[in-house]
Structure 1
């Protein structure tokens, strides 16, 4: 894949899937604005990519905040003169029993998962329309947007909503040459999930392919969807789950 002369924004990218997407985009020539709400994490991640000779700019901040999202797009344009790819990867998971789920947790999940994605897509689309050369949007969903998981009513609701947002934006932005798709990871080994001692063994047992995904697996799918190879694909969701949604056994 070739992303030379492309400028990309990736939110929630201090570690895990988002970081690997940034790393791969930079590896193949893109200038990447790496966002994370944790300033130290964002700076460290961007420095790691630069040490690998990638062009990466750390932009710490709250991706759910409208003013910050608008400034993020402007920073991309200031850095390179254009924006070509916007990947709304930031998201939070707050587990909780539905019958006692607190309002504060719900609104926090909505703020980041839906608000952050919606407003990044909006700001990026405005810029891409202005440029007149098209562009691509990508949202990070989840298999929980397709199959029920205990204690994840709020989170799974937001992920299903992102897939509908991608589909709906087809009628809003296709006329400007903008594609919009969603990648939906299944169980994935990241810094967070690897801290759970039973995670890998449980998901290896219940995933048809015999193991959870690596961050590479998700990043490669994401790069395809934002590449020129996918220029006629829009409004779609690509599940990367080793076949889990075909059988859907519970991890509990």
Structure 2
């Protein structure tokens, strides 16, 4: 329960779903966490559900694709908890759309949140980790759609594949400072959003080799390992967490 004692983390897009579960597991293991979400209500309620007192988990609402908010978030972590050890760039958006009619506005929004938000959070966090010394860990949120084609997700899959390349490329930049960086690529996962589709769970149970979609706990446990001291010599890698779906890739449609 103390594997992350004295560690300070930022997790973006964490008002619900996978991000919230990662925060919950980090706090349970002893970390202090800045929980970010664009939706202020989700951020505040999510942090309170983990730590009603606010000593180990604080909410910070805002659009983490905004470079100014990113810098403020890193500074807030340092001001409140004294340092920054771990960053989980979980925030991202999915905008489905037919390739032939996909709009420039939708494309730019996906790239701004998924790519620019991730890139500049990694940049701001890395600068802080270098200033304070002692290294750190970063985890980027990719997707199985960065490995396998998925109907109506050309822009999203493109952004998630790019995130995997960012994790690989930053090995060159970050390793000399003792900072490791990886990404995870979840497949079908049961969250508040996906369970809004009444067919979702049954569909993925049928086509996933392990016989079920992932839970947020499945993804959270893998995330915690990759930002733990036990994974310090793992860097530049992407871990696919999809119950074997990408090995066979049957379409859900």
Range class of TM-score, shorter chain: over 0.9
Quote the residue 1:59 is aligned against: 60
CA distance in 2, matches of 1:200, 1:110: 28
Consecutive unaligned residues of structure 1, counting only runs of 5 or more, are none
Counterpart of 1:183 in structure 2 is 184
Which residue does the alignment assign to 1:15?
A: 16
Please name the residue that 1:128 is paired with: 129
Provide the secondary structure at the position in 2 that maps to 1:41.
helix
What per-residue deviation string (whole Å, max 9, x for no partner) do you get for residues 64-121 of structure 1?
A: 0000000000000001110000110000000000011000000000010001100000
Provide the TM-score with structure 2 as the length reference: 0.98
Provide, for residues 31-71 of structure 1, a one-character-per-residue CA deviation record: whole Å limited to 9, x for no partner. Answer: 00000000011000000001498710000000000000000
Contact residue 29 and residue 54 of structure 1 kept, 8 A: no
- Cα distance between partner residues in 2 of 1:166 and 1:244: 23
3-state SS of paired residue (1:138) = strand
Within 5 Å, which residues of 2 pair with 1:203-242? 203-242=204-243
SS of match in other structure, 1:71 = helix
Residue 223 of structure 1, CA deviation:
0.1
Contact kept? 2:47, 2:54, Cα under 8 Å? no
What RMSD over aligned residues (CA atoms) do the two structures have, in Å? 1.1
SS at match of 2:225: helix
Q: Deviations over 1:143-163 (max 9, x none)?
A: 000000000000000000000
Structure 1 pair 111–136 and aligned structure 2 pair: CA distance change class (3 A): same
> Where does residue 149 of structure 1 map in the other structure?
150
SS of corresponding position for 1:33: strand
Distance 2:185 2:55 in 1: 26
Equivalent residues of 2:43, 2:61 under 8 A apart: yes
Give 1:201's aligned residue: 202
Q: Which runs of 5+ in 2 are unaligned?
A: none
